[in-house]
Homo-oligomer: A and B are copies of this chain.
Amino acid sequence: MRTILTPGPVEVDPRVLRVMSTPIVGQFDPAFTGIMNEVMEMLRALFKTKNRWAFPVDGTSRSGIEAMLCSVIKPGDVVLVPVYGRFGNLLIEICERYGATVEVIEQEWGKVFDPKEIIEAIDQVKPDIVALVHAETSTGRMQPLKEVGLACRENDILFIVDAVASIGGVDVRVDEWCIDGLIAGTQKCLSVPSGMAPLTYNERIEKRITERKRVERGIATEEELKQSNDQFIRSNYFDLSMLQDYWGPRRLNHHTEATSMLYALREGLRLVLAEGLEERFSRHQYHEKALILGLEAMGLELFGDASVKLPTVTCIRVPDGLDADAVRSMLLDLFGIEIASSFGPLHGKIWRIGTMGYSCRRENILAVLGALEAVLLFHGAPIHKGKALEAAITYYKD
């Protein structure tokens, strides 16, 4: 058993783990297609959208990102990607692979963009698509989206958002923020194992996808086979035009749905909606506060612009002279607690503590504060003894 306090994958709710042991049923069994429809309905509530299409791709989170981007991007499309951490780079990467002309604006890691900067870049670049990360786990920052979404809609630009790390932990409003396509993750604030990537898209994206439609040989009708379409989507597995025929009433055979993962996703969504979205967001902020109070009482310094902090990820500057990875290893070896490092320029410079979904609870906050203090003292770090837990307990008792 581990106490997992990384920004994903996090601990899975035991109720979700339990349903994964349910015997499977066939993918076109009415008992199963009923479950598929239920999942779609609950995803719409999670995403705060009226979109018809809301379903998971069978793969890890980045499979959903790739499905969305490769289904939308035609070679030569101009995509504007504002980057403020590692996962912005992933968006660039995928767009480039599918033949987009990528225009990048960069922000220092630890900050986010003023929406005006992005809108200025839109005016200059005149992109077909803007692709943006909502919550950067690599830096623990969250980018405001609404103004960017409105600007995209006004200029008839498609707005695609990676909300893998935020969904279920902080507020995401697909329709109100004019998001055309959004990709979520399971293994973070939903507390479902990795292996599915829920996504949603509206009619603006559906139109583009339908124009590129190509039904595969072997299941296409005679008429569909005759329609040649040189704009077809390059991936078969990620072709949303076929996936929507699988999730829609046509039930056109595409892949064999990952039954047990879908059971898990259904139970995870049920638990999220039963808790209540707003109550869940408040819970994440409540425990974030306890963690920050404890870390600051210990004398540790947080990393990044506090005004745009992602409530579910707390980044700590590694005190000078300390071996960041040795501290993490000792936490794991002796206490069974996992916290994260970061990527690229931040590796070894910060630790990241994730407080997401089922992992985000009082006992975990207290466990990591106590263990981190002990390990830091062992490594000779100049911290205040006994203060962290005192601060957290006082907060929780108030």
Q: A: which residues have CB within 8 A of B? A: 1-2, 4, 6, 8-9, 11-12, 14, 17-18, 20-27, 29, 31, 58-63, 66, 70, 86-87, 89-90, 92-94, 97-98, 138, 187, 193-195, 216-219, 232-238, 253-261, 264, 332, 338, 343-344
Contact of A258 among B8, B193, B235 (CB under 8 A): B193
Q: Is the CB of A237 within 8 A of B63?
A: yes
Q: Is the CB of A92 within 8 A of B259?
A: no
Complex: A173 Cα to B231 Cα, angstroms: 39
Question: Quick one: closest B residue to A26, CB to CB?
Answer: B338
Question: Quick one: closest B residue to A195, CB to CB?
Answer: B258
Contact of A187 among B219, B236, B256 (CB under 8 A): B256
Question: Quick one: closest B residue to A239, CB to CB?
Answer: B97
For residue A86, which residues in chain B have a CB less than 8 angstroms away from its CB? Answer: 218-219
For residue A27, which residues in chain B have a CB less than 8 angstroms away from its CB? Answer: 9, 194
Q: Is the CB of B61 within 8 A of A255?
A: yes
Complex: A1 Cα to B29 Cα, angstroms: 12
Supposing A59-B237, A219-B343 touch, asked if A9 and B256 sit within 8 A by C-beta, the answer is: yes
For residue A89, which residues in chain B have a CB less than 8 angstroms away from its CB? Answer: 216-218
Within the complex, the shortest CB–CB distance from A227 to chain B, in Å, comes to: 15
Question: Taking chain A's interface residues, is the majority helix, strand, or loop, or is none over half, making it mixed?
Answer: loop
Within the complex, the shortest CB–CB distance from A98 to chain B, in Å, comes to: 7
For residue A9, which residues in chain B have a CB less than 8 angstroms away from its CB? Answer: 24, 26-27, 256, 259
Q: Is the CB of A61 within 8 A of B23?
A: no
Within the complex, the shortest CB–CB distance from A27 to chain B, in Å, comes to: 7
For residue A138, which residues in chain B have a CB less than 8 angstroms away from its CB? Answer: 218
Contact of A217 among B60, B92, B195, B217 (CB under 8 A): B92
Question: Quick one: closest B residue to A340, CB to CB?
Answer: B26
Within the complex, the shortest CB–CB distance from A255 to chain B, in Å, comes to: 4
Question: Quick one: closest B residue to A347, CB to CB?
Answer: B219
For residue A24, which residues in chain B have a CB less than 8 angstroms away from its CB? Answer: 4, 9, 11-12, 193
Supposing A216-B93, A257-B194, A332-B29 touch, asked if A2 and B18 sit within 8 A by C-beta, the answer is: no
Supposing A26-B6, A234-B234 touch, asked if A93 and B17 sit within 8 A by C-beta, the answer is: no
Supposing A24-B11, A24-B12, A256-B187 touch, asked if A59 and B59 sit within 8 A by C-beta, the answer is: yes
Complex: A235 Cα to B62 Cα, angstroms: 11
Question: Quick one: closest B residue to A93, CB to CB?
Answer: B216
29 A-B residue pairs with CB within 8 Å: A9-B24, A11-B24, A12-B23, A17-B20, A17-B21, A17-B22, A17-B260, A18-B21, A20-B260, A21-B21, A58-B59, A60-B255, A60-B257, A63-B63, A66-B236, A70-B235, A86-B219, A97-B233, A97-B234, A97-B236, A187-B256, A193-B258, A193-B260, A195-B258, A195-B259, A218-B344, A237-B238, A253-B343, A261-B261
Question: Quick one: closest B residue to A69, CB to CB?
Answer: B236
For residue A238, which residues in chain B have a CB less than 8 angstroms away from its CB? Answer: 235, 237
Question: Quick one: closest B residue to A338, CB to CB?
Answer: B26
